[in-house]
Amino acid sequence: MVCIELEPWIEKQIPPNLVDHFKNLRKDQLALQKRVIIEDHPSLSRISLVAGCDVSYFSNGDACAGIAVLEIPSLTQVEYVFYIYTPKIDYVPTFLAYREAPGIVEAYKKLQNKPDLIVVDGNGILHPHKLGIASHLGIILNKPTIGVAKRLLIGSFDEQILLENKFSPVMYKNQEIGAAVVTNQSYKPIYISPGNLLSIQTARSLISRYTRQRLPEPIRLADKLTRDTVKDLE
């Protein structure tokens, strides 16, 4: 039996009685990672619908997982669905998928217009174990996914290259796992990584087409709609 250990900085954030539970989650995570494919799926040549997903929280700790579906190339909203649930775990770095993915999957089941591509507020392979929430969802839903994060979880990039080219590869352990991208000089960079069924280059190219402000429109809209839903229901 393989012994699964957690990084010390992560284990410090977990109550002692839950450490074994999170070790089991890590074991599941490592198994799922083996199924991730970082190659362009043929379906990417005919994208007509793109979804953005995000999760907002109520004051009592419950969550609202929302998915906004947009038409391409107009980026016009065609559908929005949400699902309210109680997360099974608190937030712990590198385990976001186990807090938010269950709600997103339930919201996805409600969609009448299934997307060709899903853009996720979170990381894809830009993750210590190459299985952020975008990769996790890509495996569960068997869809091409892209992770877009507002903060850099791991790795580093060249700030001078970013300034000159508006993007720079994010490197971790001598391997490119994503890209830091400046969508507008007045905004901080975002961090893009493939989740599943597409390459780093394609992920960056597609996100550039879907972005008008700092965040790509699918995520920006999903974030707004879930926040509005929480506000209306509270």
Smallest CA-to-CA distance from 195 within 77, 91, 44 is with: 44
Q: What is the pTM of this model?
A: 0.95
- Given this model, what pLDDT does residue 184 score? 74
- Given this model, what pLDDT does residue 208 score? 93
Beta carbons of 84 and 62 less than 8 angstroms apart: yes
Beta pairing partners, 146? 119, 194
Per-residue pLDDT of the chain (234 residues; tens, 9 = 90+): 456 889 998 999 999 999 999 999 999 999 999 999 999 999 999 999 999 999 999 999 999 999 999 999 999 999 999 999 999 999 999 999 999 999 999 999 999 999 999 999 999 999 999 999 999 999 999 999 999 999 999 999 999 999 899 999 999 999 999 999 998 766 789 999 999 999 999 999 999 999 999 999 999 999 999 999 999 998
- Given this model, what pLDDT does residue 185 score? 67
First and final C-alpha spacing in the chain = 47
CA atoms within 13 A on the CB side of 42: 0
Domains in the chain: ranges and CATH: 8-233 (3.30.2170.10)
- Given this model, what pLDDT does residue 106 score? 98
- Given this model, what pLDDT does residue 186 score? 64
- Given this model, what pLDDT does residue 5 score? 86
- Given this model, what pLDDT does residue 2 score? 58
Give the separation between CA 83 and CA 105, rounded to whole angstroms. Answer: 9
Smallest CA-to-CA distance from 181 within 161, 202, 153, 155 is with: 161
